Amino acid sequence: MSESRNAILGKLRAGRDAHPLTPPESDFAVLRNKRWDGAERLERIKRMMEAVHTEFLETTEADWPADVQAFLTAQGTRNLLFGPATEAGGRLSSEWAASGMAGGPELIPYADRVETFKERLFDGIDAGITTTLGAIADTGSLIVWPTPEEPRLMSLVPHMHLALLRADALYDTFWQAMTENRWADGMPTNALLISGPSKTADIEQTLAYGVHGPKRLVVVIVR
Amino acid sequence: MGETSINFAKASSAALQDQQLRGNFRRAMDGLMSKRAVQFADTAEWNGVRTLGASVRLRALSKLPELLEKLEANCTKNGIQVHWASTTDEANAIVLSIMQRVNAKLVVKGKSMVSEEMHLNAFLEKHGIESLESDLGEYIVQLDEAMPSHIIMPAIHMNTKQIAHLFKQKIKEAEYTEDVAQLTDLARRVLRKKFATADVGISGVNMAVAETGTLCLVENEGNGRMSTTVPPVHIAVMGLEKVVEKLEDVPPVISLLTRSATAQPITTYVNMISSPRKEGEKDGPNEIHLVILDNGRSGIYADEELRNTLRCIRCGACMNHCPVYTKVGGHAYQAPYPGPIGSILMPQVEGLEKRGELPHACTMCNACVEICPVKIPIVEIMGRLRSEAVHPGDAVRGAGSHASKAEAMVWKGWSMTYASPLAYQFATALLAKLGNAAPASLPLLKEWTNVRAKPRFANRTLHALAREKGIPDV
Ligand code: SF4
């Protein structure tokens, strides 16, 4: 196969060197200049995400585990997949255990490799909760970087995805989020932008939600 | 024309007779055009991001061999195995050898135009491997044993009723319904089982970042995430032009892509995949393979003008705005890439002898050029290919294959008439006298008069009228 590699690269090089190409400068000003102020950012994120069926739950740093529990109980959600080794996961398990709320959802830890957990994951889980690295005002997108403690499928397979968003972790643009945080210095296995529940318009341009991934996306805004 | 030549004229006239098809396309394209216009209502922003997008693509092309090497090095460092394929046969063989090594029986696929180019599904089927399309549109088209008719919306040629019948007929547990939510739910149930049990996931690549060795994939459904996360092996296939230099080049291109394609500010999911499952991670594939396909692209790249074809980000906006595509639909092109971009790309990839008719599927109205988010001079390239089709040359395979003696003689006669004032006067005087006597059923004229009034010649020539007004002939 390396024969093809060398042939392809050789051909490209010869082609380019015979007719070099001088590209125009890349001017990122159009992205650099997109700015919203603090309150407007959150408003914009909500507006854009609500337009694609995202739901929002407003809460505080102190109350979010209880508020999430009350919300899911009211929805009749049977269980919630969570990352037990994260700080947020730690709070969920200790505070839910202490609350003694009867009839509330059961907490299910994503603690095993998917190979041993697949059947349960695909067939028996109503909701999953993950943290986020923030959100983007320009497009209304959550930034999600799965980790060993919060694996990739948590935000994909359960029918409802809850995402914790700190109200002070907002960016103007995707470009700003990646350049300010120097993503290029080290990308994770999988980085994601998520901008709503799974959807399709493949049947006669009619929008339908929840085609493969979560049917509902609930952003828990933590102030 | 060789026997494998594609007959666009015949296919498009059949499509024009199909009122249902024309209605389906008309509605869809009108909607897409107006929604897209809203996304780019701010002209200054459109100009800025478009200029940036074009510069990102041009910069990538200017360093293409170096960036591909860098991509390979960084992917390898990240644990992604990189393969190179000169032809689609070679790419198919690479994919198959990976599958055979892991003894794969079932493959789930995200949408990938390059895999359409490779006819990968049919190839895998021949080798006893079930390859299931998981994008809803592609799934519908696969059930229908048809080809996608649009690069972004593969099943856009069908309406809900047709899809409802198809599902009832092809899916065991299906009840007949025209409710889109229920149809979608049915597909969800069928495909979820497949995601959970597939041995390999295949995806395309919207962009590969040389700087970080990252594969970017945009999608709305989550099937891309499923295919690249659940099965133990992920194989990504990409055309060699899909590389960009830096991570920061990704946001402007994605913004242009999603807004141009479906008028969304962004898709539901933007996946950036940089490595297989790492130590301690609980899910994700254990192996990722990246297959980089040439299939004629390095030849296109060698030509200064044609090279611009490789800027394309596959947004499909040129199709949505093309007066030819919107009337005849994608199937008439009989190609994985239809519409304006297909009309210039296919002849370059598959040769003019087979695809030389496609550059004629164009009114030269320039709508595609005005809309193209990376400013590809589609119409210029179209003209170039038209002339390559009839003249010998070495830039595009099959150059000269559409040369016709009769056509050459007509043009020669035309140019001689126009070069000689005497011949010109004689010809125009003759047409003014006798032109209207020509019956509408004459060959060549017939094709025009089928759907239009026969042109009428004035009984005096412009030159004669000018002379009467005292304007002398020069
Ligand atoms: S040629 Fe331009 S408009 Fe057409 S698909 Fe490619 S990028 Fe989009």
Q: How far apart are CA B195 and CA B451, in angstroms?
A: 51
CA distance B40 to chain A (A): 13
The structural domains of chain B, ordered by start, are 1-40+303-402 (1.10.1060), 63-294 (3.40.50.10420), 404-467 (no CATH)
pLDDT at A47 over 70: yes
Q: How far apart are CA A21 and CA B311, in angstroms?
A: 13
Q: Which chain A residue shows the shortest CA-CA distance from B148?
A: A202
pLDDT at A206 over 70: yes
Q: What are the beta bridge partners of residue B273?
A: A190, B215
Highest mean pLDDT among A114-123, B1-10, B275-284: B275-284
For residue A61, which of A89, A35, A86, A88 has the smallest C-alpha distance? Answer: A88
Number of A/B CB contacts below 8 angstroms equals 275
CB B323 within 8 A of CB B265: no
Residue labelled with tokens 């017939």 = B446
Summarize the confidence of residues B427-443 as an average pLDDT.
86
Q: What is the pLDDT of residue B1?
A: 36
Q: What is the pLDDT of residue B431?
A: 87
A118 vs B196, B246, B292: nearest CB:
B196
B278 vs A24, A189, A195: nearest CB:
A189
Residue labelled with tokens 């643009």 = A173
Look up residue B462 and give its amino acid.
L
- Mean pLDDT, chain B, integer: 93
B20 contact residues in A (CB cutoff 8 A)? none
For residue A158, which of A185, A197, A131 has the smallest C-alpha distance? Answer: A197
Question: Cα dihedral sign for A139, A145, A149, A151?
Answer: positive
Q: What is the pLDDT of residue B474?
A: 66
For residue B57, how many other CB atoms are within 10 A of its CB?
A: 27
Q: What is the pLDDT of residue B2?
A: 39
Pocket lining: B372 vs ligand 1, CB cutoff 6 Å:
yes
Tens digit of each residue's pLDDT (9 = 90 or more) over B132-162: 999 999 999 999 999 999 999 999 999 999 9
Residue ranges in B83-218 assigned as alpha helix (H): 88-101, 113-117, 120-126, 136-143, 160-170, 180-197
CA distance B88 to chain A (A): 12
Q: How far apart are CA B216 and CA B209, in angstroms?
A: 8
Q: Closest residue (by CA) to atom 7 of ligand 1?
A: B312
pLDDT at B15 over 70: yes
The full length of chain A comes to 223
- A195–B266 C-beta distance less than 8 A: yes
For residue B433, how many other CB atoms are within 10 A of its CB?
A: 13
What does the CA dihedral B396, B402, B406, B409 come to, rounded to 10 degrees? -10
Q: How far is the CA of B262 from the centre of ligand 1 (A)?
A: 13
| Banded pLDDT at B244 (limits 50, 70, 90) | very high
Question: For B203-207, B354-358, B388-392, which range has the lowest pLDDT when averaged over its residues?
Answer: B388-392
pLDDT at B123 over 60: yes
Chain B interface includes A204 (CB < 8 A) = yes
Q: What is the pLDDT of residue B228?
A: 98
Q: Nearest 5 degrees, angle CA B104-CA B105-CA B109?
A: 85
| Banded pLDDT at A113 (limits 50, 70, 90) | very high
Q: What are the beta bridge partners of residue B234?
A: B201, B288
Pocket lining: B208 vs ligand 1, CB cutoff 6 Å:
no
**Helix (H/G/I), strand (E/B), else coil: B121:** helix
The overall longest dimension of chain A from CA atoms, in Å, is: 75
- B266–A151 C-beta distance less than 8 A: no
Rounded percentage of chain B residues whose pLDDT exceeds 70: 99
Q: Which CATH superfamily is domain A37-222 in?
A: NagB/RpiA/CoA transferase-like (3.40.50.10420)
CB B8 within 8 A of CB B361: yes
- B265–A48 C-beta distance less than 8 A: yes
- A25–B281 C-beta distance less than 8 A: no
Q: Which of A30, A32, A145 to mutate to test the interface with B (most CBs of B within 10 A)?
A: A30
Q: Closest residue (by CA) to atom 8 of ligand 1?
A: B315
Q: What is the pLDDT of residue A168?
A: 94
Rounded percentage of chain A residues whose pLDDT exceeds 90: 93
B191 contact residues in A (CB cutoff 8 A)? 212
Tens digit of each residue's pLDDT (9 = 90 or more) over B46-65: 999 999 999 999 999 999 99
A147 contact residues in B (CB cutoff 8 A)? 281
Summarize the confidence of residues A167-180 as an average pLDDT.
97
Q: How far is the CA of B382 from the centre of ligand 1 (A)?
A: 14
For residue B295, which of B94, B103, B450 has the smallest C-alpha distance? Answer: B94
Residue A123 or A134, more confident: A134
Look up residue B474 and give its amino acid.
V
| Banded pLDDT at B443 (limits 50, 70, 90) | confident
Tens digit of each residue's pLDDT (9 = 90 or more) over B68-88: 999 999 999 999 999 999 999
Phi, psi of B165 (to 5 degrees): -65, -45
Chain B interface includes A206 (CB < 8 A) = yes
Q: How far is the CA of A220 from the centre of ligand 1 (A)?
A: 38
Q: Closest residue (by CA) to atom 2 of ligand 1?
A: B372
DSSP for residue B122: H
Pocket lining: B374 vs ligand 1, CB cutoff 6 Å:
yes
Chain B interface includes A182 (CB < 8 A) = no
Q: How far apart are CA B306 and CA B300, in angstroms?
A: 6
Q: What are the beta bridge partners of residue A221?
A: A58, A165
Tens digit of each residue's pLDDT (9 = 90 or more) over B316-347: 999 999 999 999 999 999 999 999 999 999 99
Q: How far is the CA of B315 from the centre of ligand 1 (A)?
A: 5
Strands B243-244, B207-209: pairing kind: parallel
| Banded pLDDT at B456 (limits 50, 70, 90) | confident
Pocket lining: B312 vs ligand 1, CB cutoff 6 Å:
yes
B269 vs A14, A192, A201: nearest CB:
A192
In the sheet that holds B106-109, the strands lie side by side as B80-85, B287-293, B233-239, B200-203, B106-109, B130-133
For residue B237, how many other CB atoms are within 10 A of its CB?
A: 29
Tens digit of each residue's pLDDT (9 = 90 or more) over B366-376: 999 999 999 99
Domain spans, chain A: 37-222
Q: Read out DSSP for B400-431?
A: TTT--HHHHHHHHHHHHHHH-HHHHHHHHHHH
| Banded pLDDT at B5 (limits 50, 70, 90) | low
pLDDT at B3 over 50: no
